[in-house]
Chains A and B, each alone.
Chain A
Amino acid sequence: MNFDDLSAARPDLAFIAHWVPPNAHVLDVGCGDGVMMDYLQSDKRCSGYGIEIADDKVLASTRRGVQVVQQDMENGLALFGDNSFDTVLCLSSLQMMKHVEALLRDIVRVGKEVIVSFPNFAYWPHRVALLRGRMPVSKSLPYEWHDTPNLRCATINDFRDLAHDCGVEVIDCVALAEGKRVDFLPNLRGDLAVFRLRKKA
């Protein structure tokens, strides 16, 4: 898979891929169908593993040639040693976790650098929906309130607080809208929050 294919399929991942250095040893926590690891392996010569729980996605990842480990990431990352990865990715999956803080700490433990993304609840169409007295349903939050896999709703500012409480340094924080970077009023205009983190020295 090359960069153009990735950009067409998932512009958000294409943006994030710039933050992963070539030849990095990568762990993709919640790797889905393996598209990101597939790209990183074939285009950036990265190595590493994906973690995924869903049977169909484990199969899709295996078909792509991704080293996928089937497990519930809610149970933590005990399979992986401290600082054993150059980059740990946790993309659009942290908000589905019950134990967000514990997982965040574990992700930071195993990775020298960490990239986390999640749907920004403060995105302006979400705010408008709430002003109208409705839970937001949008491209980035495509579920009805009663069947959403997203257990946690957070905004960019909220996550920054959690990172601080966990003693994690924010190297970079970017808001994306439809995969493109938003610099003006990011917490209002970005539908996806992307954080680049590392342990505080």
Chain B
Amino acid sequence: MSSLGYVTPQTMHFAEPLPLQSGAQLRDYMLMYETYGTLNADKSNAVLVCHALNASHHVAGEYEGKPKSTGWWDNMVGPGKSLDTDKFFVIGINNLGSCFGSTGPMHTNPATGKPYGATFPVVTVEDWVSAQARLADRLGITQFAAVMGGSLGGMQALAWSIMYPDRLRHCVVIASTAKLSAQNIAFNDVARQAILSDPDYRGGDFYEYGVVPKNGLRVARMVGHITYLSDDDMAEKFGRKLRAVADDIAATGTYKFDFGVDFEIESYLRYQGDKFSEYFDANTYLLITKALDYFDPARHHGGDLSKTLAATRAKFFLASFTTDWRFSPERSQEIVKALIDNRRQVTYAEIDAPHGHDAFLLEDPRYLNLVRAYYDRVWNDINAVKEAA
């Protein structure tokens, strides 16, 4: 049971069109969000938590009547936790294009009366941030105590610091990057090709046909999942172990000599892929990987990240994990260097953890204690501002 107890998602409707970076616009949309803790009188204790690829607004807590519905960052966010909901008012917002409630490809396009499908406009990290800012406006939050995220969520936090420098006091960027590498884009494209080449994708209109491109989604997830783990972690967890054929008979040393599942790692990846294909939307996967690929704020400054981050005003906390090869420590160091060039306040931790990219979601006291120590600073900071005022 989550220490936060039961939580309830909320929705907010926006009638004003949202112009997108692509030039398209969303005429009308809805955002799904959750909040934990209490917004204080001067609205200075709000923390926005941005989600990564397959997550949502459901950051922490549980849904009533739904066991196993614990939020994706429940070990980080809650009463007495690193991001303490007894102090902070925490908001999780589901991004546009998602399949977890905010307006996305499976929703009806008001212009056609049919599901958007593949015609849902390609959205960027910056578009998401613009939408999040509108939700903050409606909640009356002019400045966040912090905007925080891991991986793709970290990109959103970074984008906030560039797009709305005065609307966040602190920017917390975990296991992220200022741009994907060629290798990263390559993995994303393999995942997209898996979906696009599944006959059940039907050009993105599979909803009408009552089918789901499950095979494509499975392969996409399998590829992704490999990149979130480290080589050592996989070797440790699975090695070359063969899968037991029945509950009580271990198939020790017996190859099956066919193309079914021999190894535990195959079984594990297929299981992950199957599970994912049952709840995730194929068009959403395409959209979100594209948003990852496109993110490169320095592109508008000739690739110079230091110039790009000159616009920032926030104080920064960054963390990376030594065995994360998808969003490696070098990528975080690039951001740290650009911030130092601008004399921004930045604290950076490189956590020696064996779990690859996934480490940012896992229980590791060194990591969670550091984030807690940083949020104590955020707390002191907002209270010092109050005293001065």
Within 8 Å by CB of B346, from A55, A69, A71, lies A69
* Interface residues on chain A, number (Cβ under 8 Å): 20
Name the prevailing secondary structure of the B interface residues.
helix
Q: B174 near A: Cβ within 8 Å?
A: no
Known: A62-B370, A62-B374. A49 touches B346 (CB 8 A): yes
A-chain residues with CB within 8 Å of residue B341 when the two chains form the complex: 81
Name the prevailing secondary structure of the A interface residues.
mixed
Q: Mark A55-82, 1 if CB is under 8 A from B, else 0.
A: 1001100110111111100000011110
Shortest A125–chain B CB gap in Å is 38
Shortest A54–chain B CB gap in Å is 11
Shortest B284–chain A CB gap in Å is 35
The closest CB in chain A to the CB of B340 belongs to A79
Q: B377 near A: Cβ within 8 Å?
A: yes
Q: A25 near B: Cβ within 8 Å?
A: yes
The closest CB in chain A to the CB of B344 belongs to A67
Within 8 Å by CB of B347, from A67, A71, A80, lies A67
Find residues 4-28 in chain B having any chain A CB closer than 8 Å to their own CB: none
Within 8 Å by CB of B366, from A25, A59, A78, lies A59
- The size bracket of the interface on B is 20 to 34
Q: A47 near B: Cβ within 8 Å?
A: yes
B343 touches A68 (CB 8 A): no
Q: B254 near A: Cβ within 8 Å?
A: no
Shortest B222–chain A CB gap in Å is 33
Known: A59-B366, A59-B370, A62-B377. A47 touches B343 (CB 8 A): yes
Q: B373 near A: Cβ within 8 Å?
A: yes
- Kindly state the separation between the CA atoms of A59 and B351 in the bound complex, as whole angstroms: 11
B-chain residues with CB within 8 Å of residue A81 when the two chains form the complex: 341
Q: B350 near A: Cβ within 8 Å?
A: yes
Q: B299 near A: Cβ within 8 Å?
A: no
Known: A25-B343, A62-B347. A79 touches B337 (CB 8 A): yes
A63 touches B350 (CB 8 A): no
Find residues 64-111 in chain A having any chain B CB closer than 8 Å to their own CB: 65-71, 78-81, 84
A69 touches B336 (CB 8 A): yes
Q: B369 near A: Cβ within 8 Å?
A: yes
Within 8 Å by CB of B376, from A63, A70, A78, lies A63
Shortest B141–chain A CB gap in Å is 25
Known: A79-B333, A79-B336, A79-B340. A67 touches B346 (CB 8 A): yes
Q: B349 near A: Cβ within 8 Å?
A: yes
A-chain residues with CB within 8 Å of residue B376 when the two chains form the complex: 63
Q: B228 near A: Cβ within 8 Å?
A: no
B343 touches A71 (CB 8 A): no
Find residues 359-380 in chain B having any chain A CB closer than 8 Å to their own CB: 366, 369-370, 373-374, 376-377, 380
The closest CB in chain B to the CB of A56 belongs to B366
Q: A62-B373, A63-B373 are in contact. List 11 more A-B contacts (CB 8 A).
A: A58-B349, A59-B373, A62-B374, A63-B376, A65-B377, A67-B345, A67-B347, A68-B348, A70-B349, A78-B337, A84-B340
Residues of B that sit less than 8 Å from A by CB: 333, 336-337, 340-341, 343, 345-352, 366, 369-370, 373-374, 376-377, 380
